Amino acid sequence: MIETHQPNNNPQTLTQRLQAELERQQQADTSPAAPISLRVSTRQAQLAHIDLILDAATQKNQPRTVLPGKLDRLPIISHSKIKRLLLKVYNFLFKEQRAAQMNTIQALRQSTKLHQQMLEQTQALEEFQQNLHSNVSQQLARLDQRANDLENRLNITEQEVSKIKLPTNGVTILHSLRDRLNRLETSVQQLEHTQGERLRYLQADVSQTKRLMRQILNQDEIILNHAESTIERHNPLDGQQIDDFYSAFEDEFRGSREAINQRLRKYIPLIADANLPPLSKILDLGCGRGEWLEILNAEGYETIGIDLNDAMLEQCQAAGLNVVKVDALEYLKALPDNSITAITGFHIVEHLPFEILVSLMSEAFRVVQPGGFVLFETPNPRNVLVGSFSFYLDPTHRNPIPPEVLQFLTRYSGFEQVTPIWVNPSDRPKVVEDSELAKRFNELFYGFMDYAVMGLKG
């Protein structure tokens, strides 16, 4: 029988080689379409969220038209001219900070625009790659079908030729078929080369896009770090400065350690009347400079003081007092039930948001032992001068708490025998009480400057 084909010219073998090469290149592609699409969608959502944040930051960075809430409520600046002057001074002081923050915002906006362009290019490349893979697959399918048809025809022809006794005709037919196979192989090789070049180009383009995206992410990180450092540089006060300021403020306006000791010693008889058991543990919230802790230690009680002001805690530690830097509410939440004999707090409740104060009272009732008590002192807003002026000398005060409110909250939390204690009468000269009106005037303007509420746990 005449030799009818060569192994290297088998159409099915050529098609399989091409298919294997394409699969190898697809496996070498380190950027599958689905994950890229997912990352593009996620990144676009993140960019949209960043734009919203930048819009909000731009809005907040505008010059103020009103003073901050606490400063705006001070009676001393109620005059419109004074208020406008303070507003101009306030805006001038923070002019450089607003300019630095606006430059940072503009840089971030430019970065997000460039990032959006890169995402659009990546998405276009992804669509091009998918279309290219689809076209190659379709062409391979058609070539495979044509090769199968041709192989079937060759088999039929070979069978027919074997029956023909004219060798010349058979040889001629075989040569014709081999020529067609050669042309087919050449076409397949050209297609393989073309598609391979396209795939390599696409892979290189995707790799370049990835490098650009990494560069953009690095630039974003640099810009954000610069923005953070800029904001920190323009921050008028850091935590340590605020602590130092408030420590000096307490020394100036609340009184010396000796004066505070003299005021607080008035509570010792109340503590003694409570008949606390030996080795009683008393927790002082917002211990400040530690005057109350020193008095209790001298009376033989075990004490723990907590505060957040580093400057004041350093004074306590220098005096050998047992103090901890921690948030008052978080500390109470971590304590077991019925683990503290008593809880005190002098001039702390007026610093707290009301919802925090409610939670603090509830936790205090949980941790205080039966037979123990709570004692809280705060400015007395019944004194008109305190409620309208001296209360706001402390910029960290929130709102005055009327005695009736603090008493009700103490009872509501579960404590019994809740009583008010009026302390620190005004040392200002009073008017002569020659009438009921004069007596009432002295009560309102020169009455007790502070009060305390004490409640027992049954």
- The CA R_g of the chain, rounded to the nearest whole Å, is 42
Report yes or no: 140 and 22 within 8 Å, Cβ to Cβ: yes
Same domain for 334 and 361, yes or no, is: yes
Report yes or no: 423 and 451 within 8 Å, Cβ to Cβ: yes
- Render pLDDT for 272-297 as a digit per residue (tens, 0 to 9): 999 888 778 999 999 999 999 999 99
- Residue 165: left (phi > 0), alpha (psi -120 to 50), or beta? alpha
CATH of the domain at 437: 3.40.50.150
In-domain check, residue 2: no
CA distance 58 to 108: 12
In-domain check, residue 405: yes
Instruction: Choose among 374, 370, 350: nearest CA to 362.
Output: 374
In-domain check, residue 1: no
Same domain for 341 and 410, yes or no, is: yes
Same domain for 184 and 315, yes or no, is: no
In-domain check, residue 356: yes
pLDDT tens for the chain, 458 residues long, are 334 434 444 445 544 554 565 466 456 544 444 455 666 677 677 667 777 777 777 777 778 777 666 666 666 566 677 777 777 877 787 787 778 777 777 877 787 787 788 878 777 877 887 887 788 788 878 877 887 888 888 888 778 766 655 455 656 777 788 888 888 888 878 888 888 888 787 788 778 877 877 777 777 677 767 666 665 555 555 555 665 665 565 656 566 788 888 899 999 999 999 988 877 899 999 999 999 999 999 999 999 999 999 989 999 999 999 999 999 999 999 999 999 999 999 999 999 999 999 999 999 999 999 999 999 999 999 999 898 888 888 888 999 999 999 999 999 999 999 999 999 988 877 777 788 888 888 888 888 999 999 999 98
Range of the domain at 149: 7-234
- In this structure, the chain runs to a length of 458
In-domain check, residue 171: yes
Domain stops at, among 234, 255, 278: 234
Report yes or no: 371 and 401 within 8 Å, Cβ to Cβ: no
Same domain for 197 and 246, yes or no, is: no
Contacts of 155 (CB under 8 A, 6+ apart): none
Same domain for 194 and 145, yes or no, is: yes
* Predicted pLDDT of residue 3: 40
Same domain for 346 and 411, yes or no, is: yes
CA distance 180 to 187: 11
- Render pLDDT for 206-244 as a digit per residue (tens, 0 to 9): 788 778 777 777 776 777 676 666 655 555 555 556 656
* Predicted pLDDT of residue 354: 95
325 phi and psi angles, rounded to 5 deg: -90, 105
CA distance 380 to 450: 4
In-domain check, residue 105: yes
Same domain for 167 and 306, yes or no, is: no
Same domain for 173 and 92, yes or no, is: yes
* Predicted pLDDT of residue 235: 52
Same domain for 59 and 78, yes or no, is: yes
Instruction: Give me the number of domains the chain comprises.
Output: 2
Same domain for 89 and 24, yes or no, is: yes
Same domain for 220 and 299, yes or no, is: no
Domain stops at, among 205, 234, 263: 234
Same domain for 112 and 162, yes or no, is: yes
* Predicted pLDDT of residue 5: 39
Domain stops at, among 183, 217, 234: 234
* Predicted pLDDT of residue 102: 79
* Predicted pLDDT of residue 158: 75
CA distance 71 to 454: 32
In-domain check, residue 413: yes
Which amino acid is it at 264? L
CA distances from 375 to 283, 358, 363 (A): 10, 15, 14
Strands 302-307 and 281-285 turn out to be parallel
343 phi and psi angles, rounded to 5 deg: -130, 130
